[in-house]
């Protein structure tokens, strides 16, 4: 009975196979359908069944290895300007900073009498050169201070010729009757040059009579001898520091007087002697700081 039943099943299976895979070939020939069902053989019987329902999603797999960094993308477009925020509270004052370097300030200006230029080795420049001048020694009026007149004057409104009610400007000469403190033969009655000097890095200038050196912290611009008008002339002038190595202007050999410079001597009395000495010529020095 069992063998009959198996035979019937084999026949039915063969019929079903030929109906589903009409291209099946006999044993020894290749075909596609039996290969698709070769894993469904049960007791050498191929059964074709419909696909079952989809299974549940499995758990996530392990995290993969981090890939290489990609190239930087192009910058995006600038977004709209945001709303301006409110000002924050004022912060506490910061610590006091260190003092900066000292500025140049306004600079110091002085006249170097008896020289045509300034000593630019001390950081000083020559503003202009010229001729020393002043009021005539015999005039009772006029100015009382020497002037450094520029070499080339500039004129405004003028009328040639003297008109009487005016003050006068004369040139200046060296006035010497001895060889102390300068050589009379090389200076007497010769015209006096001058130069206006500007010290770039120093703001103050000082002329010290009866000294050859400057106070500590000051720069010595030049030194020489104190000079002024002759004591018995009607006119008066300021005391100035004539350079210790004076020069002369060319073409001024004539005795024109004008506003001469004379050495200054010390006179005892109200001036204490010592330390001063009667009749001794006074030195001078010009300093800047």
**What does the DSSP assignment read for the chain?**
-HHHHHHHHHHHHHHHHHHH-TT---TTS--SHHHHTGGGEETTEE------PPPPPPPP-PPPPPPPPPPPPPPPPPPPPPPPPPPPPPPPPPPPPPP-PPP-TT-EEEEEET-SS--GGGSEEEEEEEEEEES-TT-SSS--S-EEEESS----S--SS--SSS---EE-BB--SSSSSS-HHHHBTPBPEEEEEEESS---EEEEET-SSPPTT-EEEEEEEEEES-TTSSS----EEEESS----TT--S---SS-BEE-B---SSS-TTTS-TTPBPEEEEEE-
Residues forming a β-bridge with 226: 241
Checking if the pLDDT of 38 tops 60, the result is no
Asked whether residue 197 is domain-assigned, the answer is yes
Q: Is residue 19 part of a domain?
A: yes
Q: Give the residue-averaged pLDDT of 166-184.
A: 90
191 contacts 249 by C-beta, under 8 angstroms: yes
Look at residue 253 in the predicted model and tell me its pLDDT.
Answer: 67
pLDDT: which is higher, 210 or 82: 210
If asked whether residues 37 and 136 sit together in one domain, one would say no
Please give the Cα distance from 174 to 250 (Å, whole number). 14
- Listed range (19-23, 171-175, 227-231) with the worst mean pLDDT: 19-23
pLDDT of residue 34: 46
pLDDT band (50, 70, 90) for residue 213: very high
For residue 20, pLDDT over 50 is answered with no
In a domain, 72, yes or no: no
Q: What sign has the CA pseudo-torsion 33, 35, 39, 41?
A: positive
The answer to whether residue 278 sits within a structural domain is yes
- Inside any domain, residue 67: no
Same domain for 261 and 145? yes
What is the chain's mean pLDDT, rounded? 81
pLDDT (average), residues 167-171: 87
**What value does the mean pLDDT take over residues 12-33?**
49
pLDDT band per the 50, 70, 90 thresholds, residue 119: confident
Q: Is residue 13 part of a domain?
A: yes
Domain count, the chain: 2
pLDDT at 44: 58
Domain that holds residue 245: 108-151+168-288
């Amino acid at each position: 009975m069992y063998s009959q039943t198996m035979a019937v099943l084999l026949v039915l299976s063969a019929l079903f196979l030929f109906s589903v895979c009409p291209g099946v070939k006999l044993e020894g020939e290749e075909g596609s359908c039996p290969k698709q069902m070769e894993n469904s053989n049960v007791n050498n019987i191929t059964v074709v069944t419909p696909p079952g329902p989809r299974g549940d999603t499995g758990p996530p797999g392990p995290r993969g290895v981090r890939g290489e960094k990609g190239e930087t993308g192009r910058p995006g477009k600038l977004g709209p300007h945001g709303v301006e925020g409110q000002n924050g509270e004022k912060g506490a004052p910061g610590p006091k900073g260190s003092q900066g370097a000292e500025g140049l300030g306004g600079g110091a200006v002085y006249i170097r009498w008896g020289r045509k230029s300034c000593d630019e080795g001390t950081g000083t420049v020559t503003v202009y050169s010229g001729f020393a001048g002043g009021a005539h020694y015999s005039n009772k009026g006029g100015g009382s201070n020497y002037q450094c007149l520029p070499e080339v004057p500039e004129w405004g409104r003028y009328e040639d010729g003297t008109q009487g009610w005016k003050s006068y400007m004369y040139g200046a000469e060296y006035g010497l009757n001895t060889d102390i403190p300068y050589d009379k033969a090389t200076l007497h009655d010769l015209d006096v040059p001058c130069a206006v000097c500007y010290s770039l890095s120093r703001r103050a200038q000082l002329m010290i009579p009866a000294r050859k050196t400057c106070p500590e912290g000051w720069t010595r611009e030049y030194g020489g001898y104190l000079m002024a008008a002759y004591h018995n002339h009607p006119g008066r002038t300021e005391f100035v520091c004539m350079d210790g190595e004076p020069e002369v202007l060319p073409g001024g050999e004539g005795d024109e007087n004008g506003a001469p410079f004379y050495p200054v001597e010390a006179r005892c009395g109200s001036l204490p002697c010592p330390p001063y000495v009667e009749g001794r010529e006074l030195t001078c020095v010009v300093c800047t700081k």
